[in-house]
């Protein structure tokens, strides 16, 4: 099946916190200078022949210079995200629970300048920096830890609706 591309490409992201329950967020090179939605969670696209777990390990190692021993049980949720633009495709998004990072951990962060321009800790009031769908995804996981959930982000507003978890 040469030239075949999946109907639903996948992405895999990591949710890391600090002892103050703030989220580690990153700003991509392409988003620098943009407003709302210019920050994201560490992670990215799942490559061909790569598992979502391997992808998040690779992306975090490349983007932040940190290696985490993530396990399949660290999966927090899977979301189907409906395409929102011409030429865009629906995608599957995997969200993983990362470790709580100490100051010593964050001292080891080395950004890949080809990918990221900045990182920071974001408290609940700073969720506006994230795309609304990403902010909802992260907030929900911090409020309702434990158990894997499945979500669907539909429509132009990109609202997330819980299917078998709290919403």
54 Cβ neighbours under 8 A, 6+ residues apart = none
Q: What is the pLDDT of residue 128?
A: 74
For 153, phi and psi rounded to 5 degrees? Answer: -105, 110
106 Cβ neighbours under 8 A, 6+ residues apart = 18, 24
Does the pLDDT of residue 160 top 50, yes or no?
no
Average pLDDT over residues 133-145: 66
Does the pLDDT of residue 19 top 60, yes or no?
yes
| Cα separation values, 114 from 18, 29, 117, 118, Å | 26, 7, 8, 11
pLDDT tier at 64, thresholds 50, 70, 90: very high
**Neighbour tally for 98: CB within 10 Å:** 23
* Cβ–Cβ under 8 Å, residues 82 and 65: no
Q: What is the pLDDT of residue 164?
A: 38
Does the pLDDT of residue 100 top 80, yes or no?
yes
Report the length, in residues, of the chain. Answer: 167
Q: What is the pLDDT of residue 120?
A: 94
12 three-state secondary structure: strand
More confident residue, 17 or 130: 17
């Amino acid at each position: 099946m040469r030239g075949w591309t999946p109907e639903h490409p996948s992405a895999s992201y990591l949710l890391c916190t600090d002892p103050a329950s703030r989220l580690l967020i990153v700003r991509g090179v392409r988003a620098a200078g943009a407003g709302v939605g210019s920050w994201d969670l560490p992670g990215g696209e799942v490559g061909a022949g790569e598992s979502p777990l391997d992808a998040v390990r690779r992306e975090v190692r490349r983007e932040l210079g940190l290696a985490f021993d993530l396990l399949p049980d660290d999966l927090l949720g899977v979301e189907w995200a409906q395409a929102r633009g011409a030429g865009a495709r629906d995608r599957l998004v995997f969200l993983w629970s990362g470790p709580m990072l100490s100051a010593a951990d964050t001292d080891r962060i080395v950004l890949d300048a080809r990918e990221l321009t900045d990182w920071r800790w974001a408290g609940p009031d700073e969720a506006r920096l994230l795309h609304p769908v990403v902010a909802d995804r992260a907030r929900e996981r911090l409020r309702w830890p434990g158990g894997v959930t499945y979500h669907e982000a539909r429509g132009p507003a990109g609202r997330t609706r819980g299917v078998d978890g709290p919403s």
